[in-house]
């Protein structure tokens, strides 16, 4: 694998399972990635847990008093389930196993590698940054269900300010300092601090707008936020 050609993507669970499994989105996403594989691109895709993760955690809290670590392990399991789903959707293009440790990215001739949540104390965002560092990528792409990073929740705050570019120092002022399971944040604070340390940029795009994502891959002007 030519590490320089590898693109690392954090694929939000909100895109894979917004309420129910969105097979139409996954089909369209897989088709797009296949097009770029044919152009010589290679991809590492780390999947998130999304709403199904939160449903499991909320249900656990009704049954028992789970620790933060157990809630995280529940979330990690859902990210890995999502990753298996996407891996199988790619067929023979994908490496045959979901990678569980982003510090150890396998050398393979397969152009697509799937990974997921890693260990308690953070989200799958940290796995994305570690995978980027492992293959020497200085840019990671975060695909979620919003167009930009905002200074506050744009759904409940119509006056929310969007950012097209923002430094890591500025971004870290917008999010909590610590991680809690189920935290809703554009990019989790633990992963953000590590990305800052490693001088890795994170590019936010709305995964629902795959035409816009293609503009990014083509090196054209796109809608989204660049952090770092």
Q: What is the pLDDT of residue 72?
A: 87
Q: What is the pLDDT of residue 4?
A: 43
Q: Please state the domain count of the chain.
A: 1
Q: Which residues on adjacent β-strands are paired with residue 50?
A: none
Can you list the alpha helix ranges (DSSP code H) found in 46-150?
A: 51-63, 68-89, 124-135
Q: What is the pLDDT of residue 218?
A: 92
Can you list the alpha helix ranges (DSSP code H) found in the chain?
A: 13-16, 23-37, 51-63, 68-89, 124-135, 168-172, 189-197, 210-217
Residue 172 to residue 193: CA distance in whole angstroms: 8
Q: What is the pLDDT of residue 201?
A: 95
Element (H, E) at 33: helix 23-37
The 3-state DSSP class for residue 142 equals strand
Residue 46 to residue 133: CA distance in whole angstroms: 14
Q: What is the pLDDT of residue 157?
A: 85
Q: What is the pLDDT of residue 182?
A: 57
pLDDT digit of tens for each residue in the chain (228 aa)? Answer: 343 478 999 999 999 999 899 999 999 999 999 999 999 999 999 999 888 888 898 999 999 999 989 998 998 999 999 999 999 999 999 999 999 999 899 999 999 999 998 888 777 888 999 999 999 999 999 999 889 999 888 888 888 899 999 999 999 998 877 666 555 678 888 889 999 999 999 999 999 999 999 999 999 999 999 998
Cα separation of the two ends of the chain: 27
Residue 198 to residue 137: CA distance in whole angstroms: 10
The 3-state DSSP class for residue 44 equals strand
Q: What angle do CA 90, 9, 70 make, to 5 degrees?
A: 90
List, in order, residues 6 or more apart from 3 with CB less than 8 Å away: 135, 136, 137
Residue 100 to residue 116: CA distance in whole angstroms: 7
Residue 25 to residue 216: CA distance in whole angstroms: 18
Where in the sequence is the domain holding 33, given as residue range(s)? 3-227
Tally of CA atoms within 13 A in the half-sphere of 175 that contains its CB:
22
Closest CA to 192 of 170, 172, 178: 172
CATH code where residue 221 lies: 3.40.1160.10
Name the phi and psi angles at 33, rounded to 5: -60, -40
- Are 128 and 187 spatial neighbours (Cβ–Cβ below 8 Å)? no
Q: What is the pLDDT of residue 153?
A: 82
Q: What is the pLDDT of residue 2?
A: 42
Q: At what angle do helices 23-37 and 210-217 cross, to 10 degrees?
A: 20
């Amino acid at each position: 694998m030519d590490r320089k050609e590898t693109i690392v993507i954090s694929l939000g669970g909100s895109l894979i399972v917004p309420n129910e499994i969105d097979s139409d989105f996954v089909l369209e996403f897989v088709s797009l990635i296949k097009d770029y594989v044919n152009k010589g691109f290679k991809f590492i895709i780390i999947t998130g847990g999304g709403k199904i993760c939160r449903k499991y955690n909320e249900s656990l809290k009704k049954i028992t008093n789970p620790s933060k670590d157990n809630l995280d392990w529940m979330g990690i399991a859902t990210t890995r389930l999502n990753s298996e789903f996407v891996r199988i959707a790619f067929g023979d293009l994908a490496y045959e196993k979901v990678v569980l440790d982003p510090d150890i990215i396998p050398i393979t001739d397969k152009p697509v590698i799937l990974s997921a949540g890693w260990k308690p104390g953070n989200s799958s965002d940290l796995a994305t940054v570690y995978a980027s560092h492992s293959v020497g990528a200085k840019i990671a792409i975060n695909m979620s269900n919003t167009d930009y990073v905002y200074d506050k929740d744009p759904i409940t705050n119509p006056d929310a300010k969007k950012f097209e570019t923002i430094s890591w120092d500025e971004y870290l002022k917008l999010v909590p300092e610590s991680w809690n399971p189920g935290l809703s944040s554009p990019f989790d604070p633990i992963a953000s601090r590590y990305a800052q340390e490693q001088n890795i940029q994170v590019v936010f795009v709305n995964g629902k707008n795959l035409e816009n994502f293609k503009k990014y891959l083509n090196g054209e002007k796109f809608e989204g936020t660049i952090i770092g």
